[in-house]
């Protein structure tokens, strides 16, 4: 077995680092990255409302056959869910209850993103509906987080 030349290893490492940097940098440049911090009550309410609004619009567009809109709204749902996850107080019981639902919504939206906008809308609609259901449950728990003063 021949050893891999150092130059080749360096080139491979540079390519991988470049790809990872582009993947990481794109949301930063688009302003889609939120810093982890506790959200105040009004900010949490706004994020939860936007999360629910986009989840509903995502499924509504699926019923109209607009796959591009499903993918778009699902990416927005993921952004809001990740922002909420990062800001949930770790000690709040309702926040802990909302966490698995937010993670499920993100997981289902990744399925939608993997399918892309070139598939039949029905194929994207199933994970989109599952994401919306998870969002609905998460929003119930987030309302309890707001009421508990977190």
- Structure token digits, residue 7: 């130059």
Q: Check: CB of residue 59 under 8 Å from CB of residue 132.
A: yes
User: Looking at the predicted structure, is the pLDDT value of residue 32 above 60?
Assistant: no
Lowest mean pLDDT among 10-14, 17-21, 59-63: 17-21
Q: Check: CB of residue 65 under 8 Å from CB of residue 121.
A: yes
- Structure token digits, residue 135: 């969002």
pLDDT at residue 3, as a whole number: 59
pLDDT at residue 8, as a whole number: 61
Summary mean pLDDT of the chain: 80
- Chain segment 72-119, per-residue pLDDT in tens: 999 999 999 999 999 888 888 888 999 999 999 999 999 999 999 888
Distance, C-alpha 59 to centroid of its chain: 16
- Chain segment 13-31, per-residue pLDDT in tens: 666 566 444 444 455 444 4
pTM reported for the whole predicted model: 0.71
């Amino acid at each position: 077995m021949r050893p891999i030349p150092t130059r080749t290893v360096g080139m491979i490492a540079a390519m991988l680092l470049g790809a990872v940097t582009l993947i990481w940098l794109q949301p930063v440049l688009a302003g889609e990255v939120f810093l982890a911090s506790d959200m105040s009550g009004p900010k949490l309410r706004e994020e939860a409302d936007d999360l629910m609004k986009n989840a509903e619009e995502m499924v509504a567009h699926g019923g109209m056959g607009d796959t591009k809109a499903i993918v778009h709204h699902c990416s927005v749902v993921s952004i809001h869910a990740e922002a909420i996850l990062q800001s949930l107080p770790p000690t709040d019981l309702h926040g802990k209850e909302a966490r698995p639902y937010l993670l499920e919504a993100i997981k289902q939206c990744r399925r939608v993103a993997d399918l892309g906008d070139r598939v039949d809308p029905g194929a994207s609609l199933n994970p989109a509906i599952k994401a919306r259901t998870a969002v609905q449950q998460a929003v119930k728990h987030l309302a309890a987080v707001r009421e508990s003063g977190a």
